[in-house]
A and B are shown apart, each in its own frame.
Chain A
Amino acid sequence: MTNALATFSKKVESQLVDPLRQVNIGRKLVYVTPAQGFGISSVDWGKITEMSEGYVSYGFTDGNEDIIDVTLANSKVPVYWKDYKVPRRMYESWKVNGTDIDSAAALSAGYRQVSAEDLAIIQGVSNDGSNYDINGLYQGAGNNCATALDFGTWGNAIKAVAGGKTLMAEDGVPAYNMPLNMVLPATQYGELEASVHPESGALEMPIVERMLNGGKVYAAPETVLPADGGLLLPTPSAGRPYFDFYLTQNYTVEHGFNSEHPDTGDLTGRVYSAGILRIKHNVAICKLSGI
């Protein structure tokens, strides 16, 4: 019985992983560590609070020791999950005849689970919806370009990216030489995509993409990013020293029986993952508010 359930779960899981990867936005923005194990419930990491200047000389001298100011942070690792039901007869039919599994319910639950994970990576983890226990990229950004630049007007997206890069460069982040990603709420993404210069007919999107040095523009649902806020941040490979997603459990599916009706009751399914965003140097993330 247990083996059949485990096989069933693996089968559903295999149908889920690719679609979930496609819809997930958070994990496309940050370096994701290999899964460390579900048993890890908290993690320590160093936050860089101040980075001093480098030195140039014709030889190494004593007395120039410099310490990067680091504070130790500790956080519990949240779990992102959603439960669903599988009709018992479908499961029995799969067991006897190998009938194709209709994983629609599991997939639907998986999308909800991914949405919860995206929210945690992009906004943060909040119990009351306003105070954040763990900051995501938006809440934890160390720079904020809050100039009123409505993306409905041609040129404002260019100005927002330039403004964000200036702030990051002020903090020693090589924003002009590293690939950057920009994340926009769906409305602003649509405005940028449709932004055409009224006289020359030049599209604004390709100019913005060139300014990102090889990075991309992503659209996030407005449940994840507020309607007038965007993000500018290094791509996962370039941003790894600044922030990452410490994954403890990758997308996993499990199924169990209701003990009241062990032979006829529906199966209870659960899709879950676990991990935490670690922001080590927040000045590499620039919030674009007022866009």
Chain B
Amino acid sequence: MTKEGTVKVQVKVSHLAIDLIPGKPEIYKKGQVFECPEERAKKLGNSVKIV
């Protein structure tokens, strides 16, 4: 289950740095799955896959 307005995405690039909490960037590695606002996920393009 995901929160409303969010989706689970899987990282497709080697490393993805993203600040889901403003000012607190995190680095996700290829294959890792995390929850992300849908709008933000769309902007990540082919760097992630919605799972």
Contacts and interface: CB of A to CB of B under 8 A. Distances in A.
Given A167-B27, A171-B14, A144 B44 contact: yes
A144 B16 contact: yes
Interface of A: 139, 141-148, 163, 166-167, 170-171, 228, 282-283, 287, 289-290
B44 A146 contact: yes
A23 B20 CA distance: 38
Nearest to B29: A170
Given A147-B19, A147-B25, A148-B22, A142 B44 contact: no
B3 interface: no
Interface of B: 13-19, 22, 25, 27, 43-47
Given A147-B25, A148-B22, A289 B43 contact: yes
A171 B19 CA distance: 20
B12 to A, nearest CB: 9
B43 A144 contact: no
B14 A167 contact: yes
Contacts of B14: 142-143, 167, 170-171, 282-283
28 contacts: A139-B45, A142-B13, A142-B14, A143-B13, A143-B14, A143-B15, A143-B16, A144-B13, A144-B15, A145-B17, A146-B44, A146-B47, A147-B19, A148-B19, A163-B17, A167-B15, A167-B17, A167-B27, A170-B14, A171-B15, A228-B43, A282-B14, A287-B13, A287-B47, A289-B43, A289-B45, A289-B47, A290-B43
Contacts of B27: 166-167, 170
Nearest to A142: B14
B22 A146 contact: no
Contacts of A143: 13-16
Nearest to B18: A146
Contacts of B44: 144, 146, 289
B18 A139 contact: no
A78 B26 CA distance: 38
Contacts of A289: 43-45, 47
A163 B24 CA distance: 12
